[in-house]
Amino acid sequence: MGTLIAEAWSVGVIRHALFGMLIAGGTLSLLGVVIVALHLSVIRFTLMHVGLFGAAVGIALGSGATIGAFTAVLIASCIMGYLSRQNVMSTSSISGLFMTGSLAGAFLLLAGTGVPAMQVFDIFAGNILMLSRTDLVLTAITGTIVVLVFIVAYREIQLVLFNRELAILLGVPVEAIMMALFLLLGLGIATALRLVGALLVDAVILLPGIAALRLARSFGSALLLSSLFGIISTAGGFFIALRFNLPVGASAAMTATCLLSCVLLIGKLIQPS
Amino acid sequence: MKDFAIELDAVTAGYHHHTVFSKVSFAVSSGERILVTGSNGSGKSTLLRIISGTLIPKSGTVTVQHVTLHNSRRRQQTRRQIGILAQMQHDPEIAISVRESVVLGLWGTRFNWCTRVQREDHERARNYLALVDMLPFEHRDIRSLSGGQHQRVALARALIRNPQIILMDEPTTYLDLDAKRDILERIMQLQQQMQFTLVVVSHDDHLIDRFDRTIRLEHGSLLEVEGGSLWAR
């Protein structure tokens, strides 16, 4: 295994991929805590579908699937955040609208422009080994933004997650925080799309958050555990993929699934009767 | 001149294009205990948001502790003198200790974006938890408490700001009879000791006899003010 790692380490692409996975696992996983605590699972699922539409647009315009998906997810998260803030309709209705619209748009675009469907569906699988130095820098910037927001607005986010009505009455700018979290979510999903693909975004973002919330005794420990589980999932998945010549995204997702299963089991065993 | 803690003059309030109540006027004296009743959607919680300065009225004037809330700086300043007991919501998904949840009540006074929670804030939280007999539970996850215990902690959270005014949104909802009696007794006892102005919003009409006055909001307007000599339009 040591030789294998040493050999792999000498290849630039693999080094980039590992760094990318570690950064994403350690930082984007913080968003999982927010997704679970604010019940935003539907939103993140919608953003994945929007990514597909963006990929189709990107390919049709010649700017590439990844850029298209990234842009579409960011724009959609802004619009969805705005609509939810304006109370135009419920979050699930907004999600339904965007999810259906995105899928329909993607299929119509595929049919209308003759873009090969498989090229668009690549966005579902991602390609970590195609990660360039620029991609790596972008991932690091996104990760830094996510961490900084959680450091600067730690108590404010905690208040919103604890009791939104109390936060409003105390004067916490709840709407601005919600908007910022929507944007971060969009940014995080768009970044994870490039790494592990739409289908496996949950491995990096959601599952570590769920596992952390099962064990954590405070908001701070939930964030730390989520980050730790994110790193374990991505690093573990990466080395398993390397060792057994398997796809990286799927290996990371399976590691995250096993980790969450273990946490649920441990939680069940130590739960006081 | 009467010493009013809260004055609303022809206040119209709502969200976006929807008006919740219009041209509501009333005044609350310092140290007075006011109950605001009304059916669901009558604007009781909106009234609390207006008084706390977290919702800007569409028209009219709001004066709290002799300060007219016409700009954000004044609203922010005044908010520091107000303690909040928010409506009990479903249990949060995040774990939070009883003591930490009380410390959160200090947001906007002892800490905010720029300043962080200090050790003495935790000490202060312990003192207020002791006041409501919840100190032995300080390390417990708030999600493991009963409804009555939950509200006692919420009371400590409101008091920790050392406020001149306390606003309470449905403090007895979801509580059984004993817990309801207990929390009301504690609120009234502490009000007498500390002499803060108390505004309680509740749909529970049975609380009327515990307050100096009752204000009823119905169909977007103030219908009646019982048992008080103050003016109402």
CA distance A46 to A219: 26
Q: Name the more confident of B177 and A115.
A: B177
Q: Which residue in A39, A170, A221 has the most chain B C-beta atoms within 10 A of its own C-beta, making it the best mutation to test that interface?
A: A170
Examine the pLDDT at B130 and tell me if it is beyond 80.
yes
pLDDT band for B227, please (50, 70, 90 cuts): low
Q: Which residue has the tokens 């792999």?
A: A8
Give the one of A169, A172, A218 whose C-beta lies nearest to B95's C-beta.
Answer: A218
Could you tell me if B48 lies within 8 Å of chain A, comparing CB atoms?
Answer: yes
| Beta-sheet pairing, B59-64 with B67-68 | antiparallel
Supply the pTM of this predicted model. Answer: 0.85
- Measured between CB atoms, does B144 come within 8 Å of chain A? no
How high is the pLDDT of residue B224?
64
Q: Can you give the pLDDT at residue A199?
A: 65
Q: With left for phi above 0 and alpha for psi between -120 and 50, is residue A218 left, alpha or beta?
A: beta
pLDDT at A81: 81
Per-residue confidence (pLDDT) for residue B158, from 0 to 100: 94
- What ipTM does the predicted assembly reach? 0.83
Separation CA A51–CA A107 (nearest Å): 13
* Distance between B92 CA and the closest CA of chain A, angstroms: 5
Can you give the pLDDT at residue A132? 78
B2/chain A closest Cα distance in angstroms: 27
Any idea what DSSP says for residue B52?
T
On average, the pLDDT of chain B sits at 88
pLDDT at res. B233: 37
User: B76: which chain A residues are within 8 Å (Cβ-Cβ)?
Assistant: 171
Count CB pairs under 8 A between chains A and B. Answer: 90
Ordered by where they begin, the domains of chain A are: 2-265 (1.10.3470.10)
The three-class DSSP label of residue A269 is: helix
Top-confidence range, A214-218, B135-139, B209-213: B135-139
pLDDT at B230 over 60: no
Interchain proximity B15–A216, CB inside 8 Å: no
- Which of the four pLDDT bands, split at 50, 70 and 90, describes residue B1? low
More confident residue, B40 or B224: B40
Rounded distance between C-alpha atoms, residue B73 and residue A254, angstroms = 52
Lowest average pLDDT, out of A66-70, A181-185, B34-38, B187-191, goes to A66-70
* Interchain contact B232–A (C-beta under 8 A): no
Residues of A engaging B, defined by a Cβ cutoff of 8 Å: 33, 36-37, 86-87, 152-153, 155-156, 158-159, 161-172, 213, 216-219, 221-222
Contacts of B92 in chain A (CB under 8 A): 37, 161-163
The residue among B79, B91, B94 with the most chain A CBs within 10 A of its CB, best to mutate, is: B94
Contacts of B176 (CB under 8 A, 6+ apart): B147, B148
The pLDDT-based confidence of B90 (bands split at 50, 70, 90) is confident
pLDDT at A189 over 90: no
B94:A33 CB<8 A: yes
Task: Give CA–CA dist A125/A195, Å, rounded.
Answer: 9
Compute the nearest-CA separation of A165 from chain B (Å): 6
Helix axis angle for A219-244 and A30-37, nearest 10°, is: 120
Per-residue confidence (pLDDT) for residue A1, from 0 to 100: 66
β strands within chain A, DSSP E: none
Cross-chain Cβ contact B117/A156 below 8 Å: no
Using the beta-carbon criterion (under 8 Å), do A170 and B79 form an inter-chain contact? yes
Q: Once rounded to an integer, what is the mean pLDDT over residues A266-272?
A: 76
* Cβ–Cβ contact B141 with A under 8 A: yes
Phi and psi at residue A223, in whole multiples of 5°?
Answer: -65, -45
Structure confidence at residue B225 (pLDDT) = 64
- Listing DSSP states for A185-218 in one string gives HHHHHHHHHHHH-GGGHHHHTHHHHHHHHHH-SS
Does any CB of chain A come closer than 8 Å to the CB of residue B96? yes
Give yes or no for residue B228 having a pLDDT over 50: no
Task: Using the predicted structure, report yes or no on whether residue B115 has a pLDDT greater than 70.
Answer: yes
pLDDT tens profile B139-187? 999 999 999 999 999 999 999 999 999 999 999 888 888 888 899 999 9
Extract the tokens encoding B40. Answer: 């669901």
Verify whether the Cβ–Cβ distance B54 to A171 is below 8 Å.
yes
Which of chain B's residues have a Cβ under 8 Å away from the Cβ of A220?
Answer: none
3-state secondary structure of B10: strand
For residues B159 and A268, the model is more confident at B159
pLDDT value at A111 more than 50: yes
What is the mean predicted confidence (pLDDT) over A184-188? 88
More confident residue, A127 or A272: A127
**Is the pLDDT assigned to residue B96 strictly greater than 90?**
yes
Per CB-CB distance under 8 Å, the chain A contacts of B116 are: 155
Backbone angles phi, psi at A92, to 5 degrees: -70, -35
Residue with tokens 């040493």: A6
| Nearest C-alpha neighbor of A17 from the set A271, A251, A184 | A251
pLDDT, tens digit, 9 for 90 and up, residues A200-224:
788 889 999 999 999 998 999 999 9
* Per-residue confidence band for B226, with pLDDT thresholds at 50, 70 and 90: low
* Chain A contact for B139 (CB, 8 A cutoff): no
